[in-house]
Chains A and B, each alone.
Chain A
Amino acid sequence: MTAEQIAQYLISGAVVGGIYALIALGFVIAFGITRIVNFAQGEFVMLGALAMATLSARGVRAPVAFACSVVSVAAFGALLYRGALQPLTRAPALAVLILTIGASITIRGVALILWGTDPLAVPAFAAGPPVLVAGAVMVRQGFWVLGVAAASFVALWWFFTRTYSGAAVQACAVNPLAARLMGIRVDRVGVLAWLLAAGLGAAAGAVISPITYATYDMGLMLGLKGFVAAVLGGLVSPPAAIAGGFLLGVVESLAAGLVSSAYKDAVAFVVLVLVCLAQVLGALPWRVVEEG
């Protein structure tokens, strides 16, 4: 086992981890404000990737196509919440959860009809040969993935800590009733949260599509991995979700490289089970999803 190999695993893991982190953030924001675990989050990723593929195929330049994909999917996410989920505020949590699973299946089905089963190619944002980092290879699109992830994290941090709307969102996450008494429109904040969550998912899908291609069924696995990352971070803390995403990506890559690639996907789910067990046994220093 050489240092070069380890470096390769770390870099591959970090790029995939950046994607998991973006998706995990979407889970955390939607859950933090609206208390809905959104199992359609992976479909936002898929829609972002397919929109990117369609626009690129029409000759739209990468930055414009990226922006259009993110904005349109974000709007779709907000509409989905406003139209299908907000009316169910008083419904049991399980019913709402099942509704998001239904939404996910529906979105996938419609995408299958609109885009077909064939994977679609997306050109890299910047062409060029891969770059050597510490003896390991990193594709140029990998820098874009990390860049988009970093830019999203900074923008969100700024939004939550430096703007009035961000403070309102946080207030709703902490105590919706008190927030309402302070004159914050909790329902509008919920729509805003879903707008952000869907936009983050779409950004993840659009930026990774040149590496993975865009297919109607790519969302399920990515969504599940993002969910595991979010749970790793406790499902309520954005910085912890980001850390969870990168941790999961790197652990997966190291497991595939050092142990056996046959168990790569299993790693994510074994981690999920371990975290849940640790939570039940009270062995975790942080809380995973407060009991409701």
Chain B
Amino acid sequence: MHVISALLVALVVVGAYLPAVAQEPYRLGAIFSITGPGSSLGIPERDTALMIEADVNARGGIKGPDGRLHPLKLVIYDDASDETKAVLAAKKLIDEDKVTAIVGTTLSGTSLAILDTVQRAEVPLISCAAAAKIVEPAAERRWVFKTPQSDHLIVGVLVDYLKAKGLTKVGWLNVDYAFGQLGWIEFEKATAAAGLSVVANEKFGQKDVDMTAQLTRVKAASPQAVVVWSIPPSASIATKNYADLGLRMPMFQSHGVGNKKYIELASGAAEGVRFPAGKLLVAEQLADNDAQKPVLLAYARDFETRYGPRNTFGGHAWDAVQLAVRALGKAGSDRGGVRAAIEGTRNFVGISGVFDFSPSDHNGLDRRAATMIQIVDGQWKLAR
């Protein structure tokens, strides 16, 4: 794994010094959280970006508007999950590396931090972070796009599912930082609109060691289903506590548990848990007429042969880099042209969904981009 990424890095470095490259390379910047708390997301994103760069250059490069092949030159910086470092990296990419566009960052906080920098320099940014605020309102975010599904989309899929199953009395718990808080805001709105009643609303800390007190309160409100909005390890602890307390109503989680770590840490207690997420985790089980299926399978195969188990975060980077590559092919090194090309992208079949960008929608996804997944025998299954 490391050998391959080291080789890829070596290839990139050597490539940069090869004197006789026929055409001027297209320069694409990237900022990922390769270290720091966001590293479990940023590392697969970096790996995916390097993989695409290697594949594009193995084909000879990107065919530009001049009809010639241009090599892709990717410049990647680590923001260490830190807002200040992300801004510095963005400035460096724009002023020193003279990139045409930037993909990243990994986290919502860092993406929001660099908005001003890229907007003022008029450099297109394709973020791999989730918060809807990054691209809304689109009128004020002319240069900014993002590939992950927004919270309201994911929550909408969950609430539709709860309603369809007749689970109208719901208990809610969320982790008390941005991810959980934004989830709650969207869930409160969506349940009110759908006519579901939330009978319990509890918080816990990401470092909490025990959620039985909160779950006991939820139990007392006797909901028909319980939704937990968090990521491991706290999501796994809540799941274990839930099983230990003998709660029998169905448990739902967020897309934050879309990695095998959640199942492993919950040691059996995750069985039967359902959550909304992108389709990558269950690519093999999708209907054959699903437009995304071949793309998802190809990415999963490529990533798993080179790096290890697939995850949705790498998928966000795949979408961002591929969008940038297509736009570079249309507009070359012209920043404004690349921006217009991204905004004009229709029916782009990616990992997070089928993207239809427009001047008023810089995420380009709808509810078809997520599905309900259930954990059965420790594996992800499409939920019925």
Residues of chain A at the chain B interface (Cβ within 8 Å): 2, 5, 8-9, 12-13, 15-16, 19, 117-119, 121, 123, 130, 137, 139, 208, 211-213, 215, 217-218, 220-222, 253-254, 256-257, 260-262, 264-265
Contacts and interface: CB of A to CB of B under 8 A. Distances in A.
A9 B209 contact: no
B200 to A, nearest CB: 10
B261 A118 contact: yes
A261 B245 CA distance: 18
B212 interface: yes
B244 interface: yes
A256 B267 CA distance: 26
Given A211-B237, A261-B202, A262-B203, A119 B214 contact: no
A119 B245 CA distance: 23
A121 B244 contact: no
Given A9-B216, A137-B246, A212 B261 contact: no
Given A119-B265, A139-B244, A257 B216 contact: yes
Max count, chain A CB within 10 A of own CB: residue among B176, B203, B213:
B213
Contact of A213 (B204, B220, B265): B265
Contacts of B214: 256-257, 261
B120 interface: no
Interface string B130-172: 0000000000000000000000000000000000000000000
B210 A262 contact: no
Nearest to B262: A119
Interface string B34-48: 000101100000000
B233 A257 contact: no
Contacts of A2: 220
A16 B214 CA distance: 14
Nearest to B259: A118
Contacts of B176: 262
A121 B246 contact: no
A8 B40 CA distance: 35
A211 B269 CA distance: 13
28 contacts: A2-B220, A5-B220, A8-B213, A8-B216, A9-B213, A13-B213, A19-B209, A118-B261, A119-B265, A121-B264, A121-B265, A123-B267, A139-B244, A211-B237, A213-B265, A217-B37, A217-B207, A221-B205, A221-B207, A256-B213, A256-B214, A257-B214, A257-B216, A260-B203, A261-B202, A261-B214, A264-B203, A264-B204
Contacts of B210: 12, 15-16, 211-212, 253
Interface string B169-198: 000000010000000000000000000000
Contact of A264 (B37, B205, B265): B205
Contact of A137 (B237, B245, B265): B245
A177 B260 CA distance: 58
A261 B203 contact: yes
A251 to B, nearest CB: 11
A16 B241 CA distance: 14
B109 interface: no
Contacts of B40: 117-118
A12 B240 CA distance: 14
Given A15-B210, A264-B204, 15 more contacts: A2-B220, A8-B245, A12-B213, A16-B209, A19-B209, A119-B232, A119-B233, A212-B237, A221-B205, A253-B210, A256-B213, A256-B214, A261-B203, A261-B214, A265-B205
